[in-house]
Amino acid sequence: DQQVKQNSPSLSVQEGRISILNCDYTNSMFDYFLWYKKYPAEGPTFLISISSIKDKNEDGRFTVFLNKSAKHLSLHIVPSQPGDSAVYFCAADSSGGSNYKLTFGKGTLLTVNP
């Protein structure tokens, strides 16, 4: 059973517009959520995180929103740039960020068109 789901395998967005990547989870014990970005032939790199005590965290062009009642989080990228084209993984942890046995989604391939 998949505890972290990214239902959109791919997303295509025009440069300068907003990219919205979605993630749903089923485990109520998850209390810390992260987004990673992955380019081909490279390992994932950490992008942004959010604790379950917050509903929003912002870092530059990247904002993560958490809706605990819906068990849903989303990553907004504004404005989108061609260099943002990559696979984005949503991940969740149930130990407040102190024990990174993360559960990952399958990823969403974002393509930003010039």
Partner 1 sequence: SQTIHQWPATLVQPVGSPLSLECTVEGTSNPNLYWYRQAAGRGLQLLFYSVGIGQISSEVPQNLSASRPQDRQFILSSKKLLLSDSGFYLCAWSRRSAGDTPLHFGNGTRLTVT
Residues of the shown chain interacting with partner 1 in the complex, contacts defined by CB under 8 A: 2, 4, 6, 34, 36, 41-46, 49, 89, 91, 96-107
Nearer to partner 1, 77 or 89 (CB): 89
From first CA to last CA, the distance across the chain in angstroms is 38
Residue 87: which of 7, 3, 9 has the closest Cα? 9
Residue 104, both tokens: 């990952």
Rounded to a whole number of angstroms, the minimum distance from the CB of residue 18 to partner 1 is 24
Nearer to partner 1, 13 or 34 (CB): 34
CA distance 18 to 39: 20
Nearer to partner 1, 22 or 79 (CB): 22
Determine contact, residues 112/82, Cβ cutoff 8 Å.
yes
